[in-house]
Structure 1
Amino acid sequence: MDWTENPMTLNRHMTVAVVSLLLTGALPAQAQPSGPTTHAEAPARLTPAERDTALAAITEAVQKSYVFPEKRAAVLERLSQSRKAGRYDVDSPLLLAERVTDDLKGSSGDLHLYLQHAPARYAAAKAPKGEGVDADAYRRNQALREHHGLTETRVLAGNIRYLKIAGFRWTRDETGAAYDDAMRFLKDGDALILDVRGNGGGAHAAVQYLVSHFLEEGTLLMTFHRGSEPPVQSRTLEHVPAGRLKGKPLYVLIDGSVGSAGEDFVYDVQQFKLGELIGARTSGAANNNWFTPIPPAFMLSVPEGRPVHSVSQTNWDGVGIAPDVEVPTAQALEVAHSRALKGLMATSAPTPAQRAEYTWAQVGIEARLHPVSIAPARLKSLAGRFGEMQATFRDGALWLVRDRRQDARLTPLTQDGLFAVEGSERLRVRLTGKALELSRLGEPTPVVLARS
């Protein structure tokens, strides 16, 4: 069943069927909202009556729908206590959303239980289908403005293909086409790095489409349970236009901000052993959440279902997903790039040209991971004129000076005088004190210029 088209018999006027893990429809959910609102407009002030109506609706939704009945009493008690203590006696919708969210999460430990002040989202959720900016139009606009979450592609040194997935947005057909283009780009790489750091979630349909490129068709991914309704299974797709990428060395960058559908993908990588996870443990938000519009302009995220993975027979809720290689977030890309190159050198039987390219790239990565420092006196001793070129010392660094070209700063790569040339990944200089050796990637021997 496609839950986008049939939102599981939910009351259309009260609940928008939005599941951050399974649904392809309505409004994309986020496991960890960055704040109590998703919009920058100045919020209106709440009247006491509006506040009371909102709190009553929140209480009703939690009591009726929260996936863990054993936790409902504690959540409702926290809300009641805060209300009686005057904690919610504020006229700022942003502050109310923040305080309610703190109490919801604090009493449940569930990252998918929260309140947002989101006027535009609320209006879209309440709009009749096909009239103005309804839920479908809102979702499509979000996906298009963010290029479906596929925000950056790069060819890294050594033909390692990089894709940044900032969120798992989904709008039917258009998102699939965007993924097709991205997968074709990845397919020509020697190894792949997918960066989901900061990916707070989205739609399971996007995850399903992505993972289908790395597994056989029909592979069971998840079984989604929701109350007394029949379980719903998700399997890999039969056809992916870009072709499958099975067997490509895969490295996935993760951090503590990865949640919900972001973790859905990461968990597939881990459980199906599709590649290495590099970075820090993810947040631990697994349950399927639906959004309920709460007047006058709030959206309440309530987990109403839970996923069970086909391999582990459980999920990652509350514990997150541990990396295979734990490194600081800022170093995750360099570490993954280095491991990809080393893996290719060890297992892919590279050609001499590929081996030279991988070695070249590895030197640069190691210098970024472990910056080389050379004393000013030593740098000054390496300066001089070499044929038509000069290495000059200024501003605490060496600079390569060439006729009719902009001066380029030289960054040390090794202690023995190898330097990167600013602005060129394919050019390097080695200074020995007696000569300047100019090396270009792909050329077997450097050009050697003696000191004048």
Structure 2
Amino acid sequence: MNKIIFLLSMLLYTQSNYSQKKETLNEVDKSLLVSNIGQLLIQNYIFEELAFKMKESIDKQYKSNVYSKIVDPIKFADIINKSLNEIYFDKHLYVQYNPMLATELIESEKEEQEEEDSISTYREINYGFSNVEILYGNIGYLNLTSFVSDDEEGLKTIESALTFLQYTNALIIDLRTNTGGSPDAVAAISSFFFANTVHLNDSFDRSLNRLTEYWTMPEKANVILTIPIYILVSDKTFSAAEEFAYNLQKLSRATIVGERTAGGAHNTFVKPISADFVIYIPYGRAINPITKTNWEKVGVQPDIEVASESALEIATTKIVENLLLNTTDEAEIFNLNWQLDLLKAKHSILNLDLETLNNYAGMYDDKIITLEKGKLFYQRIGKPKFELEPMKSNFMKPKGNNYFKIEFVADSNKNIQHIIVYYKDNRKEKSIKKSI
């Protein structure tokens, strides 16, 4: 059922495209809607006491004619949501005018067809795996936009992505645009990060008075990644994505980088209120086995709190810095420092003035550096020419080439005397400046 509900929410129905739009509401419509919303809340909403208060609130406002002049169905949904939020602001709870979805839910009896439709939709979004790559410095990067399924094809997708990344130095999982999905998918992906069976989370279903436990399943993982994990989050990260970050943080398995997340810890399904309206109702709440609470309203607090747009830069830099702290091999230290300098240069764009660039131009033994249309170029005689970009005020590197970098060495009057070309294989060459 969770898979079907998630599919329906992923279809992105827009209010301007409803084919069966009801233009106006009459008093009978509104009375029925208010009554049905109240009953659905009492039967299902995770906090029973609040459900009664919400029902009492909308009943009272209806009887007081607060809704009497509202005939537009979209505005009616808006004012009902406002009434519910005044009792308790739950980001998962809302009423929506959506005839297409309401009809689909009412008429949907063929579970087999729904399952086929959901699989088709999962394939279209590649089971949430929008980007898998290896960043400079052998850092794995996974952009996960949703947690959709732990079915056979979903597991194959997870396996393929994580098998590709298993030999990286660390893994970055980007959840900055991930707004949630299935807790089963959260458990499935988490299973690739623990060698033993681990208790991740519990979910209490109020309507059924039932507690569901979620554990890792290492027997289903074809590879276990033991490398450090960094999870990128933003204030848009929501629901199941928050669970994933929260679980791994509390298990000391991941470092969270970015902004405090949105704060939605309730399991939700969607039900029809009428032929034109639906309601998204949180019916369950997460209970972490370690903290005995969850991230509802408070969000997940990052270990490293930075603006979300800087999270990738900070995470990659922190990974290399931590690798440096844990090695004594001189060759590896040189290589990591090389990577760190390049990372810092990549994320700290430096613009040098024309006077400085002109001072750098000249002939250096068998190397020539020229200033052309405001850009600096490097060329060894008889070899290809490279455009240079600044790393620091006195360091440049060839654009698109990470194999060497150039230091410009000046005298006390700031006149360039020579350059030193450093190579990734630990060689270096000094060349004296011959002319300007």
- 1:244 counterpart = 2:221: no
- 1:421 counterpart = 2:401: no
Q: What SS does the aligned partner of 1:357 have?
A: helix
Change over 3 Å in CA distance of 1:292–1:250 after alignment to 2: same
Q: What SS does the aligned partner of 1:364 have?
A: helix
Q: 1:230 aligns with which of 210, 213, 217?
A: 210
Distance 1:116 1:427 in 2: 58
- 1:287 counterpart = 2:266: yes
Report what 1:114 is aligned to: 94
Q: How much does 1:110 deviate? A: 1.0
Distance 2:429 2:15 in 1: 57
Distance 1:449 1:343 in 2: 35
Q: 2:291 aligns with which of 287, 295, 312?
A: 312
Distance 2:251 2:287 in 1: 14
Please list every run of 5 or more consecutive structure 2 residues that lacks an aligned counterpart in the other structure.
410-415
Change over 3 Å in CA distance of 1:245–1:319 after alignment to 2: same
Which string of whole-angstrom CA distances, capped at 9 and with x for unpartnered residues, describes residues 282-328 of structure 1?
11111111121344354421011122111111111121111111111
Distance 1:51 1:195 in 2: 44
Q: What SS does the aligned partner of 1:197 have?
A: coil
Q: Give the root-mean-square deviation of aligned CA atoms.
A: 3.2
Report what 1:127 is aligned to: 108
- 1:418 maps to a residue whose letter is F
Distance 1:170 1:424 in 2: 40
Q: How much does 1:77 deviate? A: 4.4
Which string of whole-angstrom CA distances, capped at 9 and with x for unpartnered residues, describes residues 130-157 of structure 1?
57xx432332233111111111122122
Report what 1:175 is aligned to: 154
Change over 3 Å in CA distance of 1:330–1:355 after alignment to 2: same
Q: How much does 1:277 deviate? A: 0.9
Q: How much does 1:402 deviate? A: 7.9
Q: What SS does the aligned partner of 2:172 have?
A: strand
Larger RCO, structures 1/2 (Cα 8 Å, 6+ apart): 1
Distance 2:53 2:199 in 1: 35
Report what 1:342 is aligned to: 321
Q: What SS does the aligned partner of 1:187 have?
A: coil
Q: For 1:4-403, list aligned pairs within 5 A.
A: 17-18=1-2, 25-28=3-6, 38-39=13-14, 42-43=17-18, 44-48=21-25, 52=30, 53-80=32-59, 84-86=65-67, 89-91=70-72, 93=74, 95-117=75-97, 121-122=101-102, 124-125=104-105, 126-129=107-110, 134-170=113-149, 172-227=151-206, 228-246=208-226, 248-347=227-326, 349=327, 351-386=329-364, 387=366, 389-395=368-374, 397-400=375-378
Distance 2:126 2:405 in 1: 36
Q: What SS does the aligned partner of 2:359 have?
A: helix
Distance 2:297 2:168 in 1: 35
Please list every run of 5 or more consecutive structure 1 residues that lacks an aligned counterpart in the other structure.
1-16, 19-24
Distance 2:122 2:353 in 1: 51
8 Å CA contact 1:54–1:296 kept in 2: the answer is no
Change over 3 Å in CA distance of 1:434–1:222 after alignment to 2: same
Change over 3 Å in CA distance of 1:82–1:352 after alignment to 2: farther
Change over 3 Å in CA distance of 1:394–1:212 after alignment to 2: same
Pick the structure with greater CA Rg.
2
Change over 3 Å in CA distance of 1:273–1:47 after alignment to 2: same
Distance 2:279 2:140 in 1: 38
Distance 2:68 2:382 in 1: 69
TM-score, normalized by length of structure 2?
0.84
Bigger mean CA deviation after superposition, 298-307 or 176-185: 298-307
Q: What SS does the aligned partner of 2:72 have?
A: coil
Distance 2:130 2:185 in 1: 14
Q: What SS does the aligned partner of 1:169 have?
A: coil
Bigger mean CA deviation after superposition, 428-437 or 358-367: 428-437
- 1:325 maps to a residue whose letter is I
- 1:413 maps to a residue whose letter is M
Change over 3 Å in CA distance of 1:382–1:37 after alignment to 2: same
Identify, as 1 or 2, the structure richer in helix: 2
Change over 3 Å in CA distance of 1:99–1:435 after alignment to 2: farther
Distance 1:118 1:447 in 2: 69
Identity %: 22
Change over 3 Å in CA distance of 1:54–1:380 after alignment to 2: farther
